[in-house]
Amino acid sequence: MNPAPAAAPSCLVTGKPLEKIFSFGRMPIANGFLAPEQFADEYFFELAIGFNPESRMLQLTERVDERKMFHENYAFFSSTSAYMQRHFAEFAAKVSEAYLGESADPFVVEIGSNDGIMLQNFAARGVRHLGIEPSANVAAKAREKGIRTVSEFFDEKLAERIVAEHGQADAFLGANVMCHIPYIHSVFEGVKKLLKPKGVFAFEDPYLGDIVQKTSYDQIYDEHVFYFSAASIGFVAAAHGLELVAVEPQSVHGGSMRYVLSHRGARPVDASVRRQEDIERFLGLDRPETYVKFGRAVERSRDALMALLDDCRKKGRRVAGYGATSKSTTVTNFCGITPQHVEFISDTTPIKQGKFSPGAHIPVRPYEDFVKNRPDYALLFAWNHAAEIMAKEREFVAAGGRFILYVPQVGIEP
């Protein structure tokens, strides 16, 4: 197996030493679905979090090389959720109304544009756009939809090239990607160069406050290097002459935050920023002890889930996973869930089907198998899409099927 890097961890924002607060142990690549002949060579690293009080940044202490995670066989396709398609249509409409009106020929750039779930809304309105998506297979899907996409990793250098080729942008957007990039200073410097003087930088990511309050520890995996708050984003922005001008909580992905930034002084700072920073202090997000407590809550959650799954096994109840999410890689490996607990995981994404889940090696099967061979319980690994999935699964419930949830508490529904 690959050796773990020996270097002592340091904060990716301040460069100062970073203390490990909680370790989930050895973890595989969250989206590294694999075939049996690949089991012997599976890559593992130590998944652990540390907190830097100066920057207020919760972050991974060890990281996986980005090229091991984002490549031509990336397993996550954004458009698998109809709800998320509507969410990004609304995000795009809001940006158009609020920020593009003043420009005669607006230009929108999106980082981590995946299969074009957000940019398709700008393309449909004839807005000049550019997607930046290093995972070649999902980028190809976007191009099929007529979305202009460069398949590279965004950093300061790429930003300079984009400016030279296309000019500066009115809006630089991102969803569930900023928290993936360890070289955060290069990204922010790139954004600064790319944005017009009145341009906006709007992005959203899973929110640290929700992760702590709901014990949604499965948001912690290799791809998620950072767990952002208004305070930590404000800190990074200030180092680059940028300013956090508004925040807006979002319900998606189990609780996210949308951050709006501009060049310092270019736009008025909305009251939402101060309000959120007050909430964060109230939640103790600025104190390391909060994350020590979080670690204990994570262990309690694991114990409760395993007690329930062991009970199902003893009683001969069949359990299948619902949604082969990245998050489920943390849950299965941290809790010790095996194919004896969960027979298979149902997922609608073709590239995941017929493979095995990372580390735990639970078979991933097409959704049709779930319908044909309904289990007694569906362990909802895609709990963030619960509303969409429950609405789709009325027949499963009517036939006596039940969902096992573990966020915010372990329990059975309905």
Task: Give CA–CA dist 317/296, Å, rounded.
Answer: 29
- The rounded distance, in Å, linking the Cα atoms of 142 and 385 is 23
Residue 141 binds ligand DWN, judged by CB under 6 A: no
Q: Which residues of the chain form contacts with ligand SAH (CB under 6 A)?
A: 66, 70, 74, 76, 78, 111-112, 114, 117, 132-135, 138, 153-154, 175-177, 180-181
Query: Taking a C-beta distance cutoff of 8 angstroms, is the pair 212, 220 a contact?
Result: no
CB of 303: closest distance to ligand DWN in angstroms?
A: 23
Chosen from ligand SAH, ligand DWN, none, partner binding at 388 (C-beta under 5 to 8 Å by type): ligand DWN
Residue 404: CB partners within 8 Å, gap ≥ 6? 305, 308, 309, 319, 377, 378, 379, 380, 410, 411, 412
Q: Binding to ligand DWN by residue 79, rule CB under 6 A?
A: no
Residue choice 223, 243, 277, 280 for contact with ligand DWN (CB under 6 A):
223
d(CA 311, CA 384): 25
CB of 192 to ligand SAH, least distance (A): 16
Considering only 6-14, 126-134, 158-166, 347-355, which stretch makes contact with ligand DWN by CB under 6 A?
347-355
Q: Which of 271, 315, 107, 297 is nearest to 216 (CA)?
A: 297
The pair of structure tokens assigned to 212 is 């702590």
Q: Decide if 321 contacts 346 (C-beta within 8 A).
A: yes
Of positions 64, 273, 324, 379, contacts ligand DWN by CB under 6 A? 324
Residue 274 CB, nearest distance to ligand DWN (Å)? 28
Residue 176 sits in the site that holds ligand DWN (CB under 6 A): yes
User: Among ligand DWN, ligand SAH, none, what binds residue 154 when CB lies within 5 to 8 Å by partner kind?
Assistant: ligand SAH
According to the binding rule CB under 6 A, does residue 385 interact with ligand DWN? Answer: yes
Please give the Cα distance from 237 to 188 (Å, whole number): 7
Stretch of 187-195, 275-283, 309-317, 378-386 lying at the interface with ligand DWN (CB under 6 A) = 378-386
